[in-house]
Every structure is written in C-alpha cells, then in structure tokens.
A and B are shown apart, each in its own frame.
Chain A
Amino acid sequence: EVQLVESGGGLVQPGGSLRLSCVASGFTFSTSWMTWVRQAPGKGLEWVANIKEDGSAKYYVESVKGRFTISRDNAKKSVFLQMSSLRAEDTALYYCARDAGWFHYDYWGQGTLVTVSS
C-alpha cells in the first residue's frame, strides 16, 4: 500500500521557521520526483516546489524562492521542506505528492497544517 505521511506543521510566528517532512512507502521513492503542494484555507491548490529523483534539480514557485528549501533523503525515503521567513500568506495545508511524470501527481499525503500568526 502506498503511503505518504507528512509531519512538522504547526503554529509559528511571522518571520519564524518550520521544517516539514514527508515519509514515503509502497513505491520506489528513489526514482520518483517529489513535490510539495499547498492549499490556503478555502482556496485552491498551489504548487510550491519539486525535487528530482537524485536531488540534483529543484524548482520553486516565485513567492517562496529564497525562503523555502526542498531536499530529500532517499535512504530514509523522505522529502523535506525547510521554510523560513514565514509570512501570514504561507498559512496553508501542505501536501507532499509524487510526480509520476508531466505534472501527473498520482500519490498524495493527507497534509500537514502550517499556521503563521502572532
């Protein structure tokens, strides 16, 4: 059974930092692009960042460049999102998803909630 389990969300003050984790099982993680997608309360889906199978390529949405860093550990079947200089507009449910190719996201986690507020 395929599983993606996110963790690390919580309440953080503006300007603070948080590290999200996503642990995968049930598929070959080391040959999969991985992606973070977020959804602000009551809003649509927003692609945040993705990372190539071996970690050699990483891409970010413009609004998080310089503040968020995506990384992975294939030995631990995990992908991470280090978030810093957090803003109120980063408040969202953060999902990790596998990209089966060409923006086809076939596996999703249940999400971890990040709330940025003073």
Chain B
Amino acid sequence: QSALTQPPSASGSPGQSVTISCTGTSSDVGAYNYVSWYQQHPGKAPKVIIYEVTKRPSGVPDRFSGSKSGNTASLTVSGLQAEDEADYYCTSFGATNVFGTGTKLTVL
C-alpha cells in the first residue's frame, strides 16, 4: 500500500514563502494530475485549498499555489500570514491511504 509522505513540520516568518512537499509513487502522484491539498486549523474541519494539482477553489487566496514534479507534489504559501498557521494534508488519486501524513506549518 502506498502512503503519501509529508514533512512533519515547516515554518517561516510573515511575508516569506514556504513549500510543503508530498511524496508518493509512480502509481499515485506520478500517475495522475489529481492531487489536492487541505488546510486544517485547530478544532476545525479540513478545507480544500488546492485540487487537481494547481487549481484553487473560489475564495482561496492566490498566495496558495500547487505544483507537481514526478512523484512529488508541492504546496507553496507565499507572503505568509499568521492565519496560515495550520496543519496541511495532501491527497492523490491512486494513493491507498488517501491522505498524506500531514505537515504542521508554523508562522514564526
């Protein structure tokens, strides 16, 4: 079974950019352009911020962007703001465990 691996933590100062990776395999991330990213604040339900690798739902700031290279997808948060501090999870079609391991983003 394939699992999507994310770094446990990431951090940056306000205004900086941070990139979070999501590493899968040639059977999931590498095979499909169906990677989604979810933001979860403490005590709240997850919220989709990126889908189909690069698309942003209505209302999501353009500071959030997604990309993919080979078996690794990435979420970049530009111009970090305090409210971006949250947990972030990726998903990819084809990944048996569906959700990535999660990354806690800290805004210093």
List chain A positions with a Cβ less than 8 A from chain B: 37, 44-47, 62, 95, 100, 102-106, 108-111
Within 8 A of A (CB), among B45-98: 45-48, 51-52, 57, 87, 89, 91-93, 95, 97-98
Q: Output the nearest chain A residue to B50 by Cβ-Cβ distance.
A: A104
Interface size class of B (residues with CB under 8 A): 20 to 34
How many whole Å from A47's CB to the nearest CB in chain B? 4
List chain B positions with a Cβ less than 8 A from chain A: 1, 32, 34, 36, 38, 40, 45-48, 51-52, 57, 87, 89, 91-93, 95, 97-102
Chain A residues lying within 8 Å of B52, measured Cβ to Cβ, are 102, 104
Q: Output the nearest chain A residue to B103 by Cβ-Cβ distance.
A: A44
Chain A residues lying within 8 Å of B34, measured Cβ to Cβ, are 102-104
Are A103 and B57 in contact, with the CB atoms below 8 A?
A: no
Are B98 and A108 in contact, with the CB atoms below 8 A?
A: no
Are A44 and B89 in contact, with the CB atoms below 8 A?
A: yes
A45's partner among B47, B48, B92, B99 (CB-CB below 8 A) is B99
A62 to B96, CA, bound (A): 10
How many whole Å from A62's CB to the nearest CB in chain B? 8
Chain B residues lying within 8 Å of A100, measured Cβ to Cβ, are 51
